[in-house]
Amino acid sequence: MNNEKFEQELISLSNEKWHWMSECKVDSLSSLFHEKAVFVHMGATMSKEEELDVIRSGRIHYKDVDIQEVSVPFIGETTAILLSKIRLVAVVGGNEVTNPFVVTEVYVKQNETWMLASLSFTRLITP
């Protein structure tokens, strides 16, 4: 397995995902998200459909993401964990908020296609 090639592919896919999230492109996101995907936010854990509904409805609008660091360790040939240190600007409940996070994205490869199985936000404590 060529991890370097897949690492770049996943980094590009993750970047595209952030773009789709900011543009509310739920059809593109629906194709990327695994049917059993889970999404862990600061205040809730959601299923694929719940996450898509939050984006579709605008309850969370992912405005901008500044990606500061990325790493992609692999587990075998079909699982990758993409870790990103980011600064996220979002509108939540009508209020714009900026938070530093480490985002954990777990990707699984099915039928030669990478799918997002989990997306978790861990808020960083900054001085």
pLDDT in tens, 29-46: 999 999 999 999 988 999
What predicted TM-score, i.e. pTM, was given to this entire model? 0.93
More confidently predicted of 52 and 1: 52
Is it the case that residue 61 has pLDDT exceeding 90? yes
pLDDT score at 3? 79
**Nearest CA to 117 among 13, 69, 47?**
47
Task: Calculate what percentage of the chain has a pLDDT beyond 70.
Answer: 98
Q: Where residue 34 sits, what CATH number does that domain have?
A: 3.10.450.50
How many domains does one find in the chain?
1
Q: Say what the pLDDT of residue 1 is.
A: 58
**pLDDT for residue 118:** 98
Range of the domain at 37: 3-123
Question: Quick one: pLDDT at residue 4?
Answer: 86
Q: Residues near 64 by Cβ (< 8 Å), separated by ≥ 6?
A: 22, 88, 89
pLDDT tens per residue, range 75-122: 999 999 999 999 999 998 899 999 999 999 999 999 999 999 999 999
Q: CA 25, CA 4: separation in Å to the nearest integer?
A: 28
The β-bridge relationship of strands 33-40 and 113-123 is parallel
For 70, the token pair is 């990325």
